[in-house]
């Protein structure tokens, strides 16, 4: 599609798709704001539903995409005009607290504050599924280190580009838990998933793919995490605030029912 609609492909510096995590559809371009550092420029919107940057000089670029309805998404890449093809980014936008939700969507409203109750901004939140019965897929065949394609058997919930999973299997009593991010394009068979980065481990057939949901607190210290599907209607999840290898860091176990709305507040201190 890109090859047919753009005759000056060699001038492209980046191609960007922006998708709503809930609907799986392209986000209305009129509701999005783009900022490219260090140039401060915005991309050109194409009627086919994607955005392009063209004729960028060589350098390192940082793209920030945001909207009142969604959280902020940031991508960074190094561009060299001598590259044969431009990078293609599939941005999956997480809803903000202002988003209007469908009635059956499971969501967790989280507020992060310090010891005196003041909001903390830019706290990374990660929700890990810990229930095998809620896996979104299983591997149909084994994989090897450095593979970037998975053949999977899904639970019937269509995957979206940009979704993240925890790939879990056990090899000789050694448990591998590897976060992965999907790079699938809509025209690909849903049983074949492409990955953003190659695998760090090998996995046997039957390994589970458990969903991971991420968000970042806004200027009010608030964020919302949305679970698109719970095949077993409920499950155990671990909510992590911060980075596991840095302090402050908080981990909290949650039992969540499908369609449930949960509100919680996390108090984060330097002594955590």
Long-range contacts, stretch 158-162, CB < 8 angstroms, 24+ apart: 158/24, 158/190, 159/184, 159/190, 159/193, 160/19, 160/21, 160/24, 160/92, 160/184, 161/17, 161/19, 161/90, 161/92, 161/185, 161/186, 162/19, 162/21, 162/90, 162/91, 162/92
Q: Which domains does the chain have, with CATH numbers?
A: 2-93 (2.60.40.1120), 96-272 (2.60.40.10)
Helices (H), 62-216: none
Q: What is the pLDDT of residue 188?
A: 54
Residues with Cβ within 8 Å of residue 196, at least 6 apart in sequence: 180, 181, 182, 183
Between CA 55 and CA 192 the distance in angstroms is 33
Q: What is the pLDDT of residue 1?
A: 38
The helix/strand/coil state of 23 is coil
Between CA 154 and CA 138 the distance in angstroms is 7
From residue 74, how far is each of 50, 137, 215 by CA, in Å? 17, 27, 12
What's the predicted TM-score (pTM) here? Answer: 0.68
Between CA 47 and CA 31 the distance in angstroms is 15
Residue 192 host element (H or E): strand 192-194
Q: What is the pLDDT of residue 111?
A: 95
pLDDT by 10-residue block (mean), the chain, 272 residues: 41 86 80 90 86 90 87 86 84 77 78 93 92 89 92 80 82 71 66 89 91 89 86 88 73 91 89 56
Between CA 211 and CA 134 the distance in angstroms is 8
Q: What is the pLDDT of residue 129?
A: 92
Q: Are 26 and 20 in contact (CB under 8 A)?
A: yes
Q: What is the pLDDT of residue 245?
A: 62
Q: What is the pLDDT of residue 10?
A: 46
Between CA 213 and CA 218 the distance in angstroms is 16
């Amino acid at each position: 599609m890109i090859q047919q609609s753009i005759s000056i492909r060699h001038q492209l510096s980046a191609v960007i798709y922006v998708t709503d995590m809930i609907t799986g559809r392209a986000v209305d371009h009129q509701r999005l704001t783009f900022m490219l550092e260090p140039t401060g420029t915005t991309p050109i919107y194409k009627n086919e539903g994607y955005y392009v940057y063209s004729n960028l000089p060589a350098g390192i670029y940082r793209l920030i995409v945001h909207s009142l309805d969604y959280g902020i998404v940031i991508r960074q890449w190094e561009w060299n005009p001598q590259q044969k093809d431009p990078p293609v980014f599939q941005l999956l936008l997480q809803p903000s607290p202002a988003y209007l939700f469908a009635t059956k969507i499971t969501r967790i409203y989280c507020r992060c504050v310090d010891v005196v109750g003041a909001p903390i901004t830019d706290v990374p939140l990660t929700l890990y599924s810990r229930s095998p019965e809620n896996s979104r897929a299983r591997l149909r065949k084994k994989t090897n280190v450095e593979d970037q394609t998975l053949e999977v058997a899904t639970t019937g919930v269509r995957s979206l580009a940009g979704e993240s999973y925890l790939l879990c299997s056990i090899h000789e009593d050694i448990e591998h838990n590897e976060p992965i991010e999907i790079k699938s394009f809509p025209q690909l068979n849903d049983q074949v998933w492409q990955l953003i980065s190659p695998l760090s481990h090998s996995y046997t057939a039957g390994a589970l793919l458990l969903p991971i949901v991420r968000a970042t607190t806004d200027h009010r210290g608030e964020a919302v995490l949305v679970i698109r599907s719970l095949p077993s209607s409920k499950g155990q999840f671990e909510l992590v605030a911060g980075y596991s290898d840095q302090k402050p860091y908080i981990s909290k176990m949650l039992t969540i029912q499908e369609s449930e709305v949960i509100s919680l507040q996390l108090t984060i201190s330097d002594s955590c």
